[in-house]
Amino acid sequence: MIPDKSIPAAERLIVALDVPQAEAARALVEQLGDAVQFYKVGLELFMAGGYFELINWLVARRKKVFVDLKFFDVPETVCAAVRALATSGASFATVHGNQAIMEAAVRGRGDGGALKILAVTVLTSLDRGDLDDLGFDCDVEKLVLSRARRALLAGVDGIVSSGLEAPLIRRELGEKLLVVTPGIRPVDNKPADDQKRTVDVAQAFRNGADYIVIGRPIRQAADPRAAALAVQRTIAEVFA
């Protein structure tokens, strides 16, 4: 199923700025120009310094920002952290924890703010064998759906989920949650990396994703801007 078309097509691609320094992130954003409107900033940049200055820089250029720090801590600490982030101009932030932690993130976000909270279900770098190692006695699909249902009860705005599980989420929960799908690998990309549960661009949206996150296939392309534009053309065709 194709999700709600009210989201501007050009904003459905989120490029992951998984680079070692804020200066490299700015250079990539400048190179991509108007080909990309939405960026994810995660742990690598957080540890590099200049993280919040980078968020301010992106927001000042009218880019949307996805803060992917996967908040996981004592609920009141998560609440306070999200409350502080809510004034930054970021559009999305991730939380990865139990019911109390998700509810705390929602409290910190407050009512009527622009920041949307996304609950991580199962990382796309994990497969059945990894879940066995972690002690989960169920298959990936059941775990993702269970976490999605709990996220909905907690009042979060959406979830982060592989495109492989998106059809199940849509079938069971409809349009009640935003679905953001990482682990996207264009057809001509060789997935020789740590992502295991992947889909391509068109399939992600046909499976029910609202947004996709792409990092290496754009960042490491010979021409990152051309790679981003190719993804945007595919998205435009899906939502035509």
Q: Answer yes or no: are the C-beta atoms of 50 and 24 closer than 8 Å.
A: no
Whether 79 is in a domain gets the answer: yes
Q: What per-residue confidence (pLDDT) applies to 85?
A: 96
Whether 1 is in a domain gets the answer: no
Q: Could you give the number of structural domains in the chain?
A: 1
**How many Å separate Cα 59 from the centre of its chain?**
17
Whether 64 is in a domain gets the answer: yes
Predicted confidence (pLDDT) per residue in 49-65, tens digit: 999 999 999 999 999 99
CATH number at residue 135: 3.20.20.70
Is 40 designated active site?
Answer: no
Whether 2 is in a domain gets the answer: no
Whether 3 is in a domain gets the answer: no
Q: Is the pLDDT of residue 66 over 80?
A: yes
Show the domain range for 162. 9-238
Whether 55 is in a domain gets the answer: yes
Q: Active-site residue among 40, 63, 70, 190?
A: 70
Q: What per-residue confidence (pLDDT) applies to 113?
A: 76
More confident residue, 109 or 196: 109
Q: Is the pLDDT of residue 131 over 90?
A: no
More confident residue, 162 or 27: 27
Degrees, nearest 5: CA angle 83-160-63: 60
Q: Is the pLDDT of residue 7 over 70?
A: yes
Whether 204 is in a domain gets the answer: yes
Predicted confidence (pLDDT) per residue in 136-167, tens digit: 555 677 878 888 999 999 999 999 988 888 89
The structure tokens listed for 151 are: 């996220």
Residue 87 CA to residue 84 CA, distance in Å, equals 6
Residue 55 CA to residue 48 CA, distance in Å, equals 13
- Alpha helices (H) along 161-223: 166-173, 201-206, 216-219
**What's the predicted TM-score (pTM) here?**
0.88
Type of residue at 101: I
What is the average pLDDT across 104-111? Answer: 94
90 vs 8, 84, 190, 200, CA distance in Å?
17, 11, 32, 27
The structure tokens listed for 198 are: 């992947």
